[in-house]
Chain A
Amino acid sequence: MLMTNLNVVGKRVLRQDAYEKVVGGKGFPVNFSLPGMLHGKMLRSPYPHARILRIDTSRAEQLPGVKAVMTPKDVPQIPFNPIFFMPAGSMGIHRDMLILSDTVRFAGQPVAAVAATTVAIAEQALQLIDVEYEELLAVFDPEEAMKEGAPEIHVGVKNNIRDTPSFSAGDVEAGFKDADYIFEGTYETQRVHTCYMEPRVCVSDTDSNGHITIYSSIGHLFGLRERMAYVLGLPVSKVTAVQAPYVGGSFGSKIDFAYIEALSALLSAKTRKPVRFEHTRYEDFICNARHPMKVHLKTGIKKDGTFTARYASTLCDTSAYSTHGPEVILVHAYFGLMLGYRSPHMKWEGTVVFTNNMPGGAFRGYGAPQAAFAVESQIDEICDKLGFDPIEFRLKNTPRQGDPHPFNPEWKLNSYALDECLNKGAERMGWSQRAKTGSASGAKKRGIGMAAHPLWVSGCVGFPDIYEHSGAIIRLNVDGTAYLSSATMDIGSGQNTTLCQIAAEELGLAFDSVRMAPGNTDNLPFDAPTHASRVTYSSGNAVKVAAADAKKNLLEVAATVMEANVADLEVRDGMITVKGSPAQAMSVADVVKRAESPFMVIGAQGPAPTTLKEKGTIMGISSVAPPANASPAVAEFVEVEVDTETGQVKVLRAVYAHDLGRVVNPAAAEGQVEGGLQQGIGFALMEKMLFDPETGACLTSDFLDYKMPTAVEMPSKIECIFIESNEPTGPFGAKSLAEACLIVPAPAIANAIYNAIGVRIRSLPITPEKILAALGKL
């Protein structure tokens, strides 16, 4: 049963950093500086595929103010993979990047770096570096890249095919024979960028012992430390990564190593001065992006509306380097394409291909938005063609609460309320009054559409070789407050506030009695990155365990002082009472004071010596892996208006229903939904990175050319329905929220457009050009 007597969890508390941010936010990494700091800049290749024959840095080195120049020969040639969530030396990842390499594989790859006394001098120095390149043939289209005779991007990788993962259950051919109907379609998604607002930035400092300390905007403290040490060939204990109190957005992007972190460390080690790098917006755009995917679906259906066979194949452009490609395609396949809907026979085949495009990265949803666009669009096609109700059809083919978890049958779907998401969302939207497809009259046609995502994650548990454990430290203060320390990075969503709520609830303290105390990799226990919708569930569990540990220690001291049994004590709102006799009470502050007192305390009966048992700072610690990977469930309904004369689409209304187990902070939860819809509308209707077909140069590297929704493109109302199914393995029943908010909007919008104009568009973004062409008007 959902606990209802909670004091802090579920309350609309003020974010702990809210007032700091509205006065200007001093704590952003971009504001960090050290005395005597140098400024670094990178020289980038204009060619997408080239060998460097010669680099002459002599003129740059003579420029007054230039303190160091780095070229490939000056950096350790240790191949690495930038993704933080797997160990740097993992067997499961391909290591094919270098800090600086004499082979260039995408336009904009850094080839040299400079540290100078000012940014202007560093920029001037770049122009004085002479690089002689041997241009090589480049290939940008993944299908072209696989053909015989295509340029070889990595030595020994035949036809540029990095990986060909697959998955099969049952006999898919037999399943198609059983089908009454077969549906086939190909669905394409584009390369989109996270567009975090704070640029990537870092400052590295080297002390006289060669110990490196790095301050950065990255979303994984321990990943940063590990990758830094790995690429520099140092033990991890020689690197300290310092936690920023908050970061200006990541949406997945900042769980990767960029080039700047290693270069700042190398330049700092060489000059023995702090070295700062900050990306320009162009550099941020070409740093990493969502992988474009082409998904082919073939689906067998029976007359009763159940699946007989589901086949899918995915072509993923992993770009110039492996980075996330081999991982993102697995999450895409299991949690995006295949496991959400039941079928007796299933088969999936993936192809991960190298091209000379910019690196792929993590972006909220990690392969699932590409999958959901395909699956949820096709379900809409099936329902439309065969006359099934899209909600009943989904309910008939999805798992139910209590079923084994489709990814790992050893877990159960303990809490799982997709049915409520679908039914409540439909009711709020007025789904039953939805007009027949294409029946709207006039030039501006309205339509309603929906999409679900039946299976998603609350972390990465179950995937091999992926970091998943979290730790926390709680310390009680003599004033009755607590400090919480966790290496979780608050990348903007309010993670720190959520974790403080969980700690306060468990400790029995008021919300504002718990404060997040930032630390660094020297004094914090390990935590996995802020990714995979994991923080509330996975880090939250660790915080709850640490808080329970601190509470146990607190009550042991209290029991001695109060001459009571630990089992009879409870803490609420900062007071410890004996159950059943509220008059016997003592404040948490007084108990902590007693524990911290060196010799004796003055009680009502006069001075009394403290016992050894009572003495010592009251603390709690934890380092635990989450017990499972609880699945949220989600459905989104949208209403759109399509102008059939201009092709413009306006999203008028959105209803988002999500089973997140338990709402910890309603305001933060609503913010996730609303921000996810902004990114989802962008993905569905307008965002697309474009590149020069000859040179591979990014043509959309600023916000004029890369269009994302502004305030006027958003619907006037976004309605959230949160369903609290109370996950027994989650902290106070909580599961996850963040990524699903961006997984469902694009297919819901595509289905609404179909409902409005009767035309199906199977490639994103659905631009006015595509709509007018589909309507035969272009």
Chain B
Amino acid sequence: MGITATVPGKVHITLKVNGEEMEVSFAPYKTLLEVLREDLGLTGTKHGCELGECGACAVLVDGAPLLSCLTLAIECEGRAIETIEGLANGPELHPLQEAFADLGGSQCGYCTPGAIMTAKALLDNEPEPSSQRIKEAMAGNLCRCTGYQQIVESVEKAAGCCRHAERVKA
């Protein structure tokens, strides 16, 4: 008996990522993280543990922060997936991206995409979070560089900018 690789057949589905429909074929056991990074070339989403413990891979699915390393990609068919690549509008950065850059919320920067996506979910739902609330919302995003102070300050600043932008729009 020869040795054979146990490779299951691929599934072919359409994923809606950052507002765009993308057709993709992948082995059905692949996580959303793997499909984003390896099959769709969206390497902005990072992986720090692949066990759902560090938050580096957080993306938004239907507006809620989700750990893409614990989510099967086939479960995401028909759902709105948002990644860090979808946040900026061309060269125009999202207020969270501006704030993280300006205030040092990003040092080595590896946890940054997951932290920004988690913060976006928070601000989309709670435009005026207290700093304690920000800390609680970000407690699933591990960072070894910043001590979190500049991350919390970045989210606070972005919240102010988002509110200002909303007022201007109104």
Interface residues of A (CB under 8 A from B): 14-15, 17-26, 28, 30-31, 59, 62-65, 120-121, 124, 128, 194-199, 246-249, 251, 280-281, 491-494, 667-668, 670-671, 673-679, 702-704, 708, 710-712, 714, 716-718
Contact = CB atoms under 8 A, between A and B. Distances in A.
A198 B48 contact: yes
B6 A249 contact: no
A670 B104 contact: yes
A671 B103 CA distance: 10
Contacts of A14: 101-102
Nearest to A194: B144
B112 A711 contact: no
Contacts of B157: none
7 contacts: A18-B106, A22-B106, A197-B144, A708-B144, A710-B139, A712-B136, A718-B147
B131 interface: yes
Contact of B44 (A24, A247, A494, A703): A24
Given A24-B44, A26-B43, A675-B145, A711 B135 contact: yes
Contacts of B110: 25, 28, 196-198, 248-249, 492
A769 to B, nearest CB: 23
B93 A197 contact: no
A62 to B, nearest CB: 4
B149 A718 contact: yes
Interface stretch (B9-17, B50-58, B74-82, B161-169): B50-58
B139 to A, nearest CB: 4
B38 to A, nearest CB: 9
B-side interface size class? 35 or more
A673 B149 CA distance: 10
Nearest to A30: B46
A282 B102 CA distance: 34
B94 to A, nearest CB: 9
A25 B150 CA distance: 19
Given A18-B101, A25-B110, A25-B112, A677 B147 contact: yes
Interface string B1-27: 011111100000000000000000001
Interface string B80-123: 00011101100001001110111110111111110010000000
B40 interface: no
B146 interface: yes
Q: Which 8 A-B pairs have the closest CB atoms?
A: A24-B44, A492-B108, A21-B109, A248-B110, A674-B147, A18-B101, A703-B53, A22-B97
Nearest to A668: B104
A703 B51 contact: yes
Contacts of A249: 108, 110, 144-145
Contact of A24 (B84, B139, B142, B148): B84
B36 to A, nearest CB: 11
A674 B149 contact: yes
A64 B5 contact: yes
Interface in B124-140: 131, 134-136, 138-140
Contact of A716 (B87, B111, B131): B131
B45 interface: yes
B145 A711 contact: no
B144 A128 contact: no
Contacts of A667: 103-104, 150
Contacts of B33: none
B37 to A, nearest CB: 8
Given A128-B3, A492-B108, A708-B142, A281 B49 contact: yes
Nearest to A117: B5
B97 A62 contact: no
B143 interface: yes
Contact of B144 (A24, A59, A251, A670): A251
Contact of A197 (B45, B51, B143, B151): B143
A246 B148 contact: no
A21 B112 contact: yes
B152 interface: yes
A470 to B, nearest CB: 22
B144 A678 contact: yes
Contacts of B47: 30, 199
A723 to B, nearest CB: 20
Contacts of A671: 104, 107, 145-147, 150
Contacts of A28: 46, 109-110
Contacts of B116: 22
A281 B134 CA distance: 27
A173 B44 CA distance: 62
Find the residue from B87, B96, B101 having the highest chain A CB count within 10 A. Answer: B101
Contacts of A492: 107-110, 145
Contacts of B139: 710-712
A249 B107 CA distance: 9
B148 A670 contact: no
Contacts of A280: 50
A760 to B, nearest CB: 27
B93 A19 contact: yes
B7 A120 contact: yes
B48 A281 contact: yes
Contacts of A121: 5, 7
Given A198-B110, A281-B48, 14 more contacts: A23-B88, A24-B83, A128-B3, A197-B54, A197-B111, A281-B50, A671-B147, A674-B146, A674-B147, A678-B144, A702-B49, A703-B142, A710-B139, A710-B140
Contacts of B131: 716
B142 A197 contact: yes
Contacts of B6: 124
A702 B51 contact: yes
